[in-house]
Amino acid sequence: MNKGDLKTALAGVMKGEVSDDAETLKAASRDTSLFTRMPELVVYPKDAADVSAIVKEVGRARSAGASVSLTARAAGTDMSGGPLTTSVVVSFTKHMNRMGDVNVGRTTSYIDGYAVTEPGVFYRDFEKATMEKGLMLPSYPASREIAAMGGIVANNAGGERTLRYGKTEKYVEELDVVLSDGSQATFKPLAPSELEEKKKLQTLEGTIYREMDALLTEHAGLIEGRRPHVSKNSAGYALWSVRESKEVKPLYFNLAKLICGSQGTLALWTKAKLALVAPKEHRAMLVIFLGSPKHGEGGLAILPEIVRRVLEQNPESFESYDDHTFTLAVKFLPQMLAQMGFARAARLGIDFIPEAVMVASGGVPKLILMAEFAEDTIEAADAKALAAKEALADLHVQTKIEKNERESEKYWVVRRESFNLLRKNLHGLVSAPFIDDFVVPPSCYPEFLPKLNALLAEYKDNMVYTVAGHIGDGNLHILPLMDLTKEENRKVILELAPKVYELVIRAGGTTTGEHNDGIIRTPYLPMLFGPEMVALFKRTKKIFDPLNIFNPGKKVGGSFDDIKRDIIKGV
């Protein structure tokens, strides 16, 4: 089927629009990964019925031998290439951006209410609506100002508060989905008797329930054995989460937990019911300066002990940034402050004087750790920060308590802005997320971090990088900036990533905690999970999407050649 026929066919079955103008296609050819794929068409469904009609039409074309497929796109901020395709993009932000009801009401020990949303709602608008009722989705990503709910659910996003509250999958209660034959279903928690009823359905939904239940039962041991034992994971299909229920008995079966994090490869979701929490109102921060220049990386030996003791006080977030980040932040301070209003910039400028002195005197610590404690009163938050400080007393590390959010602001500015700073100030270099999101157990830091740093140092002529991340749960973000016009730099991507992942896997970690597999990490799934588990991922894909209509090459079937071919070759 040629592009013109496909465009006419799709326009004929839906209320929304189909576009193939050059500007639209170009915009959809990029996300925030290091890849580009030029789509043939972008479709804008108006509702779930439109999504269903699109899927049916593409299924017909595919059955007739056309190599057409559908890749969902929400805000397009994915760092892995998840929303990129050479075929048809299903774009949700234009029309399917309606916020549903937000209801307050405590249902379990951690849920204080629910919100209903479509995938095209931007997180910033979602939060505005939930905060009107005093509630929030605590797994929001750092890209909270630019990301939409579509990708937050489909990537199983996490962020600074995940340490205390968990990732998005914990909050995905129900998903309305369009399956690969165009039929619609609602995936939600099913009690055993309800599951048996679903398995009787003579539809694709019934087949999915029958075959997934059989797969999970038959391979329960393997699945549990290969489940990543780190605090967060977005790699592979979360087969271990479908039957998970810590709070509810009898054991519930919820396929929404599998759709979450599956990057639009199993179904397209059209409506979500998400659990929410009431955030704590007051915050205090313990800042820990680790590894003085005198002690070098030797200072890192006590890092796991610091993490363990601080975690005992249940911080809401426990973040970190390294000496490279610190030095760059001070160097680019004027540019950073210039983006802010005068009063805030002046206040922060003064707050940063001690940091400027540290840089000038060569006294920059190797790592800065920020443990933030959130409680209902400022006194309770301060008390937690103080208790954490006291717990570290015999380790003789330099610490400082920031008694409220106004005082801790400068640390958050550096942590959140460091990547943007790099990106904006090093012209000719592009951000190359390829080892951007691995997770290791914090207990391995003394062994792991020096090896990682040594490895990265080997490539210092090819890239500029900083290490920042969620130190409390072992999720480190390395976002190198590179000149990708040079072949030798592009080669580094496929050379360095397996070396880093080897270290990560040997330490018991995972390749991605939040950002997901996409084009960049799908080929590493066999290395992480082994062939038997990868075979289960393939079987799962086949059960849901036998014609491979949804986002081919992500999670299943992606190759190193895809990476080589689609890497951007310039700025």
Ligand X SMILES: Cc1cc2nc3c(=O)[nH]c(=O)nc-3n(C[C@H](O)[C@H](O)[C@H](O)COP(=O)(O)OP(=O)(O)OC[C@H]3O[C@@H](n4cnc5c(N)ncnc54)[C@H](O)[C@@H]3O)c2cc1C
The residues binding ligand X (CB under 6 A) are: 31-32, 71-79, 82-83, 92, 119, 141-143, 147-148, 150-152, 154-155, 157-159, 263-264, 268-269, 419, 514-515, 551
* Helix, strand or coil, per DSSP, at residue 568: coil
**Where are the alpha helices (H) located in 439-486, listed in sequence order?**
445-458
* Helix, strand or coil, per DSSP, at residue 218: helix
User: Cα–Cα distance between 78 and 263 in angstroms, integer?
Assistant: 10
Nearer to ligand X, 35 or 252 (CB): 35
- Cβ–Cβ < 8 Å for 287, 368: yes
- Smallest separation (angstroms) from ligand X to the CB of 386: 29
Nearer to ligand X, 125 or 407 (CB): 125
* Helix, strand or coil, per DSSP, at residue 60: helix
User: Cα–Cα distance between 24 and 518 in angstroms, integer?
Assistant: 22
- Smallest separation (angstroms) from ligand X to the CB of 73: 5
Say whether the peptide bond before residue 250 is cis (omega within 30 degrees of 0): yes
| Nearest CA-CA partner of 168 in 123, 215, 216 | 123
- Smallest separation (angstroms) from ligand X to the CB of 294: 33
Nearer to ligand X, 48 or 337 (CB): 48
Instruction: Give the DSSP per-residue string, 244-259.
Output: --SSSSSPPB-THHHH
User: Cα–Cα distance between 133 and 284 in angstroms, integer?
Assistant: 24
Nearer to ligand X, 72 or 397 (CB): 72
Give, in order, the Cα–Cα distances in Å from 550 to each of 82, 516, 559: 11, 16, 17
Nearer to ligand X, 238 or 385 (CB): 238
| Nearest CA-CA partner of 439 in 106, 135, 163, 138 | 163
Nearer to ligand X, 268 or 302 (CB): 268
- Smallest separation (angstroms) from ligand X to the CB of 269: 4
Nearer to ligand X, 145 or 532 (CB): 145
Nearer to ligand X, 89 or 364 (CB): 89
Amino acid identity for residue 59 in this structure = G
- Smallest separation (angstroms) from ligand X to the CB of 263: 4
Give φ, ψ of 476 to 5 degrees.
-110, 135
- Smallest separation (angstroms) from ligand X to the CB of 318: 14
Position closest to ligand X via CB = 151
Give 322's strand partners.
367
- Smallest separation (angstroms) from ligand X to the CB of 446: 26
Task: Give all strands of the β-sheet with 481-482 in edge-to-edge order.
Answer: 430-431, 481-482, 463-464
- Smallest separation (angstroms) from ligand X to the CB of 302: 27
Give 178's strand partners.
184, 268
| Nearest CA-CA partner of 437 in 415, 413, 470 | 470
Nearer to ligand X, 199 or 271 (CB): 271
- Neighbour count for residue 204 (Cβ, 10 Å): 19
